[in-house]
């Protein structure tokens, strides 16, 4: 491990005692994005804690790019940040990914770790590769040729059965590997592409009681995207019915962690830091959110939250956030055009946003972040102008605030009502982003942050694609959208075909409808 990485790891603070002993089963927890992003990811944090809670397992973290990328390039081999173990030396590589674009790093990470990219090319002694996470739950097929198995849903209920199976068999022999894969088909939630006789579709697995396995930070780091912040998941799922959002679909049914459990975790975190972050798709909808935030502040914490819905924002909550040192409120109107709001199924009026922002400003939360979407079906260039009108009016009516506008392209997600909808090409979306930037800069004081329209199109392709994309991912690994588009052409695939309205069977139909079923476990 190079000196810089040693220094970064030395600054980490383990909330619980770091794992002791080597363990009979060595697992690499691979997060195909940067260390900063990965350390702010509660899936990484929770899985690391659960896997290392058993004495017969040793889990180490691997990020791609590493810490930092230049250090990784000097070594030439992808290694864990914990002990500097080469990726190929592990028994199992467990990949968790939240976003489809991270998949571009998977083949690059495997290759740099000395692991054959395709499952079919791996010898028996190679690490077993298992992939999961929200992006895989939505559509596992683009990664299917690379993974020996893919997990659909929330991992907590199956961790111990999985580890028992892995420890039961000799993983270095062909017979042992085959027995493990066959055994995985019998554990709920696992999709094993090599077993064509496996019963499909795969039922999504969900944890019934969030108090059973508190999802919190295991390791604090000043180099995380949320520096030295103890993150606590308040709930899973969402009570809203937005037609474009994946969270409600893959985290159904709505479950809230109890206030008592959240506050116990907060107390644990406050032993190591004064920063507490409450995260979830519906933080403000927690029935006791005001009590939770207030008590954390009374315990000496500085509390922050993820994006809020105006319906759940109360003066008591804002007062608690302000008392805890927060100065920013994040809201997501998505669009400023009523008809487009109906298309998205998220109708939040300008008046509701204005009143929430004014109330926030009253409590000194004057930094306002607004998230918008462009490329909505039925949209015209007027949608970009309408956003500028919206922001201009907000600045005029609540002059104390400073607004940051973020906008990205609509990415239709599997299992949502817009999963088959046509979306504009990247050039059209980029033109609207250019209009938006020009309008905001000439008419408002707002800071503007626009996501790449081309990357948005790539994400749509990955979300809608099947196994045919595996060679595209391999060819474009670590590159930009242009590399991805060229790789598509090499495979005689067109980007446009994935952006137009979809019909017929879809790749993600190997996953049971995420909303109609109840929690599996």
Rounded to 10 deg, the angle between the 382-397 and 350-362 helix axes is: 40
- Other CB atoms within 10 A of residue 123 CB: 9
Contact 115, 127 (CB under 8 A): yes
C-alpha separations of 8 from 30, 59, 92 in Å: 18, 18, 25
Domain 219-454 architecture: Alpha-Beta Barrel (3.20)
pLDDT of residue 76: 76
pTM for the model = 0.94
User: What confidence tens digit (pLDDT) does each residue in 479-506 have?
Assistant: 999 999 999 999 999 999 999 999 999 9
Among 502, 474, 519, residue whose Cα is nearest residue 111: 474
> Taking Cα atoms as reference points, which of 69, 40, 90, 53 lies closest to residue 219?
40
Measured CA to CA, the distance from residue 111 to residue 113 in angstroms comes to 5
- Over range 288-312, report the average pLDDT: 93
Query: 202 versus 173: which is more confidently predicted?
Result: 202
Q: Is residue 412 a contact partner of residue 420, using CB atoms and an 8 Å limit? A: yes
Instruction: Tell me the average pLDDT across 182-193.
Output: 97
Report the relative pairing of strands 255-256 and 275-279 from DSSP bridges: unpaired
SS3 content of the chain, % helix, strand, coil (to 5): 40, 15, 45
The CA radius of gyration of the chain, in Å to the nearest whole number, is 23
CB atoms within 10 A of CB 99: 16
Q: Which helix (H) or strand (E) holds 132?
A: strand 128-132
Compute the distance between CA of residue 401 and CA of residue 444 in angstroms, rounded to an integer. Answer: 12
Return d(Cα 402, Cα 395) in angstroms, integer.
8
313-344 confidence digits (pLDDT tens) = 999 999 999 998 899 999 999 999 999 999 99
Nearest to 454 by CA among 497, 477, 483, 414: 483
What is the per-residue pLDDT for 518? Answer: 39
Q: For 360-372, what is the mean pLDDT? A: 97
pLDDT band for 74, please (50, 70, 90 cuts).
Answer: very low
Tokens 């609509």 found at: 410
Q: Which of 207, 208, 255 is nearest to 234 (CA)?
A: 255
Count helices and strands (H / E) in the chain: 20, 17
Q: Where are the domains of the chain?
A: 1-202+455-521, 219-454
Question: CB atoms < 10 A from the CB of 270, how many?
Answer: 17
Tell me how many degrees the CA angle 395-397-402 measures, rounded to the nearest 5: 30
pLDDT in tens, 400-442: 999 999 999 999 999 999 999 999 999 999 999 999 999 999 9
Rounded distance between C-alpha atoms, residue 113 and residue 86, angstroms:
6
DSSP code at position 504: S
Q: Which DSSP string do the residues of 126-185 spell out, in sequence order?
A: SPEEEEESHHHHH--GGGTTT-SEEE-B-SGGGHHHHHHHHHHS-TTSHHHHHHHHHHHT
């Amino acid at each position: 491990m190079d000196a810089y990485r040693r220094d970064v790891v030395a600054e980490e603070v383990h909330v619980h005692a770091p794992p002791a002993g080597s363990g009979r089963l060595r697992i690499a927890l691979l997060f195909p994005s940067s260390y900063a992003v990965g350390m702010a990811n509660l899936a990484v944090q929770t899985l690391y804690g659960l896997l290392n809670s058993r004495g017969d397992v040793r889990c180490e973290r691997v990020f791609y790019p590493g810490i930092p990328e230049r250090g990784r390039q000097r070594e030439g081999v992808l290694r864990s940040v914990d002990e500097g173990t080469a990726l190929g030396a592990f028994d199992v590589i467990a990949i968790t990914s939240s976003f489809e674009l991270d998949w571009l790093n998977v083949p690059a990470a495997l290759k740099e770790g000395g692991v054959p990219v395709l499952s079919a090319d791996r010898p028996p002694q190679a690490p077993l590769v298992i992939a999961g996470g929200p992006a895989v739950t939505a559509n596992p097929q683009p990664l299917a040729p690379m993974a020996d198995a893919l997990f659909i849903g929330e991992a907590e209920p199956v961790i111990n059965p999985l580890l028992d199976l892995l420890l039961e068999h000799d993983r270095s022999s062909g017979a042992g590997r085959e027995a493990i894969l066959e055994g995985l088909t019998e554990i709920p939630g696992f999709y094993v592409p090599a077993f064509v006789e496996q019963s499909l579709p795969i039922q999504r697995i969900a944890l019934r009681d969030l108090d059973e396995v508190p999802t919190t930070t295991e390791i604090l780091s000043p180099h995380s995207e949320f520096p030295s912040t103890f993150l606590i998941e308040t709930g899973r799922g969402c009570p809203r019915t937005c037609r474009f959002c994946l969270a409600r679909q893959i985290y159904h049914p709505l479950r809230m962690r109890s206030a008592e459990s959240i506050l116990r975790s907060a107390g644990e975190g406050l032993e190591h830091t004064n920063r507490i972050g409450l995260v979830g798709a519906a933080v403000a909808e927690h029935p006791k959110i005001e009590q939770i935030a207030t008590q954390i502040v009374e315990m000496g914490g500085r509390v922050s939250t993820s994006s809020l819905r105006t319906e759940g924002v109360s003066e008591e909550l804002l007062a608690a956030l302000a008392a805890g040192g927060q100065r920013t409120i994040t809201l997501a109107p998505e669009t400023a055009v009523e008809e487009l709001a109906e298309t998205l199924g998220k109708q939040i009026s300008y008046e509701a946003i204005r009143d929430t922002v004014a109330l926030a400003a009253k409590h000194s939360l004057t930094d306002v972040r607004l998230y918008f979407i462009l490329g909505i079906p039925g949209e015209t260039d007027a949608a970009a102008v309408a956003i500028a009108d919206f922001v201009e009016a907000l600045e005029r009516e609540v002059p104390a605030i400073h607004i940051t506008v973020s906008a990205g392209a609509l990415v239709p997600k599997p299992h949502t009502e817009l999963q088959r909808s046509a979306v504009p090409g990247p050039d059209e979306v980029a033109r609207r982003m250019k209009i938006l930037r020009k309008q905001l800069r000439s008419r408002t004081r707002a800071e503007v942050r626009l996501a790449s329209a081309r990357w948005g199109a790539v994400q749509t392709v990955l979300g809608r694609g099947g196994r045919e994309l595996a060679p595209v991912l391999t060819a474009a690994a670590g590159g930009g959208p242009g590399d991805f588009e060229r790789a598509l052409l090499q495979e005689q695939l067109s980007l446009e075909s994935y952006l137009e309205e979809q019909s017929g069977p879809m790749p993600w139909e190997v996953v049971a409808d995420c909303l109609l079923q109840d929690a599996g476990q």
